[in-house]
Amino acid sequence: LMFQDPVTLYIAINSDGDYANGTIYMDDGETFDYKNGQYFYWGFIYKKEGDQLHSISSKNLDKGGKLESDAIIEKMIIRGVRYYPTNIHIYLDDWNPETADYTHDRDAQTLIIRKPNALLTQEFRIDIHM
């Protein structure tokens, strides 16, 4: 993974179908500038919010990391999705909902969200409605 490359985020939901979490750390991969805060460390959480709503959110886990990146999340692949979404909304900087493009494979229990256009170093929330 290169510093500015688009990223596919894989999420594997727990066996109860209600939670997953993970992190990503990145620096420039070439220097020791991480010692001066040139890195980022972000967390992602998938959780069941209610009977008809699941969400994915991101959060900066280390404010000491000052590295900005233009790397976008190109795709999210969520495994273990037993329900069929009726719609998916993405909330970026302005927190106005945008409708997401997605596909669901019932047999593989996989949900793919295409081009959420969120930066790796940007707080966002995705609401998955059933």
pLDDT tens digits along 19-78: 999 999 999 889 999 999 999 999 999 999 999 999 999 999 999 999 888 889 999 999
pLDDT at 2 over 70: no
Give the domain CATH number at 36.
Answer: 2.60.40.1180
Tally: H helices and E strands in the chain: 0, 10
**Looking at the 3D structure of the chain, how many domains does it have?**
1
Closest CA to 69 of 126, 36, 24: 24
What pTM was estimated for this model as a whole? 0.91
Q: What pLDDT does 3 receive?
A: 65
> Does residue 1 form part of some domain?
no
Burial 108-120 (b: 16+ CB within 10 A, else e): eeebbbeebebbb
The half-sphere exposure of 86 on its side-chain side, counting CA atoms within 13 A, is 4
The whole-chain average pLDDT of the chain stands at: 93
Q: Give me the mean pLDDT over the 95-114 stretch.
A: 96
For position 94, what pLDDT does the model report?
Answer: 84
Token pair 């991480």 in the structure block, residue: 34
Query: Strand 97-99's sheet: what is its strand order?
Result: 19-27, 39-50, 53-60, 125-129, 87-91, 97-99
46 located within any domain: yes
